[in-house]
Chain A
Amino acid sequence: MIPRLQAVLFFILVIASLIMGAVLFHMREKAHDRMLAGQDAAPTQAPQVTAPEQARLSVASDDDNALRPQAYSLPLPVDPGARAKAILGKLLDLYASPDALHPVPGGAASVAQVFLLPAHTNAAGATAQKDSGDELAVINLKGSFAASHPSGLETETLTVLSICDTLHANLPRVTEVRFLVDGQVRESLAGHADLTRTYLVADAERTDVAKP
């Protein structure tokens, strides 16, 4: 015969087990709901479609060592850094096309970032005032772009100058340009054009030997 005390204890334990099972089941359901709710909160907003704007690109030509201004209609972001990156991406896409007059592989993906900082000198090379508004653009190129760029004085110089001129044409406050490759200073683009110096926008305008 089971003692009365043990029978009561047994029933209490059974009831406690049932209650604990119910609580665990409830908690599991709540965790599942939270997980589903978190997935729903993921950013699924459609990208904002901005109206296309006119961008002026200085497109290089190896045939006559010249930069030619060409206008393109592009959807451009409002943020100046992103805007500069989008414009340079379009320029490098043109160079990556099969019929390019200045063929350079890589395309838009070659520009990792563009940072805009206050400039130290103005377009004439003199030290700029703190509140002059002039900006230095730091362009971080991908290593694959530099590695695949054709080597040569003319072709490298044209790439650098077309980037400088294109930036200044679309962001007039950019008066200086510096280049990084994979976030590091690099001696030259592909063995010739100096990437250690700061380029002034005047450099791009001073491509003609007849203009000292």
Chain B
Amino acid sequence: MRWTRWEAGGARRGAWILMAGAAASLAASAQNPQPVPAAPAARSVVVIDAAHGGDDTGGHLSDGSYEKAATLALAVRLRSLLGARGFQVVMTRESDATVNPEQRATIANRANPQACISLHAAETGSGVHLFASNLTPVAVTRFMPWKTAQAGWLTRSLALTGVLNSALQHAGTAVTLGRTALPGIDSMTCPAVALELAPERDTDKKLTAEPDNPDYQARVAAVLATALLEWRTEQANMGARQP
């Protein structure tokens, strides 16, 4: 009986401690508001941004096609592969439509995704060029400036770039890394990477595939899907480790 009473008393004490703790944390958060990025949705969301479109043709590729067509084709391939792996995919455009950088960032930010991939294509360089924003990382605050909102997510964007880089290099794709100022990416509040698909070249720099080559795109999309699966696992483990 005493043990039961003690247990009951302990439970009451525990409840009081929990309530006090909750009240203290509420007061602390009111004094020092430090909003953290919202937790990803239960089903992992990936935003695929096929760059350019509509009036904005992007660059001309060597075979005369437009960059906007190559990015959309790659985006559709990647969407299929990610969908098959259980991702919820949000596209910034699904047709040859004009979407400005602000609209792209708005679509991405509303989806609250685990990753945002902006797809580009170019006729210069070789392999895959991965870019993160060149903003200076800052802590996330309640209100982030629109043009530099990505600064709060930059550390995670760089981590995502590392995961994509490892997967692409493991698959034998030439990768160059960089930082850039890109209006759409700089306003995204998610781990964001700009990926530019350049022509595939052999060791003698001889062209083996254009960026709009279906086989080349399929190979790169498969590697990206695998890398994003790994990224999702990493994020889930990080979430599990958090108290």
Contact = CB atoms under 8 A, between A and B. Distances in A.
Interface of A: 62-65, 103, 125, 150-155, 157, 160, 187-188, 190-194, 196-197, 199, 202-203, 206-210, 212
Given A151-B60, A192-B120, A64 B176 contact: yes
Nearest to A197: B181
Contacts of B181: 157, 160, 193-194, 197, 199, 203
B122 interface: yes
Nearest to A194: B181
B182 interface: yes
Interface in B220-243: none
A160 B178 CA distance: 13
B120 to A, nearest CB: 5
B186 interface: yes
6 contacts: A152-B59, A154-B124, A154-B125, A194-B182, A203-B181, A209-B130
B58 A151 contact: yes
B65 to A, nearest CB: 13
Interface centre among A62, A209, A210, A212 (most CB of B within 10 A): A209
Given A157-B131, A209-B179, 6 more contacts: A65-B176, A152-B125, A153-B120, A188-B183, A193-B180, A212-B155
Interface residues of B, number: 38
Q: Interface on chain A toward B: helix, strand, loop, or mixed SS? A: loop
Q: Interface on chain B toward A: helix, strand, loop, or mixed SS? A: mixed
Interface of B: 52, 56, 58-60, 67, 120, 122-126, 129-132, 134, 136-137, 147, 154-155, 158, 161-162, 165, 176-183, 186, 194, 196, 198
Contacts of B52: 191
A209 B161 contact: yes
A129 B166 CA distance: 44
A150 B124 contact: yes
B126 A63 contact: yes
B162 A152 contact: no
Interface centre among B120, B132, B158, B181 (most CB of A within 10 A): B181
Nearest to A157: B180
B123 A152 contact: yes
A212 B158 contact: yes
A151 B60 CA distance: 7
Cβ-closest 6 pairs across A and B? A151-B59, A152-B122, A65-B176, A209-B177, A194-B181, A157-B180
A200 B165 CA distance: 27
A208 to B, nearest CB: 7
A119 B43 CA distance: 47
A209 B124 contact: no
Contacts of B198: 152, 154
A206 B134 contact: yes
A157 to B, nearest CB: 4
A185 to B, nearest CB: 13
Contact of B125 (A65, A192, A193, A210): A65
Nearest to A125: B136
B129 A154 contact: yes
Contacts of B137: 212
Contact of B134 (A150, A154, A155, A203): A203
B186 A194 contact: yes
